[in-house]
Amino acid sequence: MLGRLLLHLIEPISSNQKLLVIWLLFVAFFLWMSRLDGQLQDVGGGMGVLDLQFAFTAEKGRQILEVWGENGRALARQGLIWDCVYPLVYGLAFEATLIRLFSSTSRWRNLIVLLPLWTILFDYGENFLHWQTLRIYPIIDGAVLQLASSWALVKWALVATMIFLMGYKLVRRQFLKLDPA
């Protein structure tokens, strides 16, 4: 039912022109977030945004926060504010693309369109935990950092799944001509 609702809401914006605008917006946000990561790496001795640390431990998270210093933590808090919009942008890009690639006759379409929604939810959960950690610093709750790391891992697994599905459909459709347009 939720999958059908998403299809109804997003399908009208999955045309070529609108999809291009959505992906350009995604690229703009991605470049800005990459710049933020670079700034955090500069102040943090090579340790950037927590979201991009693969399966970090609570101790590793604690080290990163310490190395960042107050300036780095302030920059991270600023980035989290912008990271409230970024999941919506990439979620919309993935959602519209998946809807476009999976035809209305695909039996998996109603389930596949839920992947971006779950990704957004895990990203927001992770961001909230990072915000809480930054808010109460220097007090560090290892369980909160570990949960944030776990949610990031799930988020990135979902992103990888969506990229795989999009690549699979593009190869089938464009190169093997096995899917209808």
Number of domains, the chain: 1
Domain for residue 144, yes or no?
A: yes
Domain assignment present for 126: yes
C-beta separation of 75 from 159 below 8 A = no
> Model confidence over 19-57: pLDDT tens digits?
999 999 999 999 999 999 999 999 988 888 988 888 888
Residue 125 resides in a domain: yes
Q: Which domain does 124 fall in, by range?
A: 2-30+79-175
Helices (H), the chain: 2-10, 16-43, 58-82, 86-101, 109-112, 115-136, 142-170
Q: Is the CB of residue 48 less than 8 Å from the CB of residue 41?
A: yes
pLDDT tens digits, 148-173: 999 999 999 999 999 999 999 988 88
- 63 located within any domain: no
Q: Of 78, 79, 76, whose CA–CA distance to 64 is shortest?
A: 76
What is the C-alpha separation between 11 and 172, in angstroms, rounded?
21
The answer to whether residue 72 sits within a structural domain is no
pLDDT in tens, 90-113: 999 999 999 888 877 777 888 898
The answer to whether residues 106 and 138 touch, using CB atoms and an 8 Å cutoff, is: no
